[in-house]
Structure 1
Amino acid sequence: MTGPDRPRRMTVQSPLGPLTITEEEGAITALAWAEGGAEDTPLLRDAAQQLEAYFAGDRTDFELPLRPAGSAFQKQVCAAMAAIPFGDTLTYGEIARALNAPPQAVGQACGGNPIPILIPCHRVLGRNGLGGFSGGTGVETKIWLLKHERAGGLLI
């Protein structure tokens, strides 16, 4: 794809390794643990600055246009995760009850979150523990993010 509507990517360095942010049609559509782009747009610059402030401990929320791909249910789960405040957590079961869905389906949708950190799937826990995490180095990355946010007095 060429032209202004093609995906644009910028890689930023973080304490968790390189993160590549993808912008499409004026919204952030993905964040991945990888090297993958050096494009420069106002939105990608803004996202990079907000992530830098988050990792520095100077930002607790993000003000970016986000457009996660996925089914209607995936988008509902992403909206529920995005509503979890910095430092708080919910369980898969709590989100499932709110959406009238099975916890396993919520877990699968969390695992398919295309914009981790910005849509904070790391704030969703299993009933008896951390649950999984598909970004970075897996559960170790989730633990790092929760400690960074001092989430709910979580003892990790």
Structure 2
Amino acid sequence: MLFSHFLRYLHTVLLVVMLLAGVVVAAHGLEVGDRVFGSQLAIDIGFAEHCHGKANVYVINYVPPILKLYPPPILEEFKTKYNMRVAWRQAAEDEETALFIIDKSGYVRWKHADETTNLTIDALTTEFAKLKRNTPLSIGSPAPD
């Protein structure tokens, strides 16, 4: 009797550990169109508690050697205009540095991870304009007028 309880407990612990390992591995490969729920990114920025259904999120994912920079002044304007929050997240060393836009529904709408191309304010403005609508546009759709 006691042995069967122990085996059941051991089985449950192993199952939970395997599930958590799968979630952590999945967090390293977020792409446009992916849902962030269950990812380490969502946990680190508190998406479910603070943003889901309330605000779009602009995530700055940086690695420890890079110092956390202050956001450019234009982001303050964007925060008000597009109902957006800015979240800084220290990525693990094996993760890529990237910028993400996550919509209120919890989907990655935009990602900038290419270090060879410069990020422009026009590119950000276009993406934020898509998120200002009451009904989200489909991923990859043109910006509204």
Q: Fold-level match, TM-score > 0.5?
A: no
Please report the TM-score for the alignment, with normalisation by the length of structure 2: 0.29
* Structure with greater Cα Rg: 2
Higher relative contact order (CA 8 A, sep 6+): 2
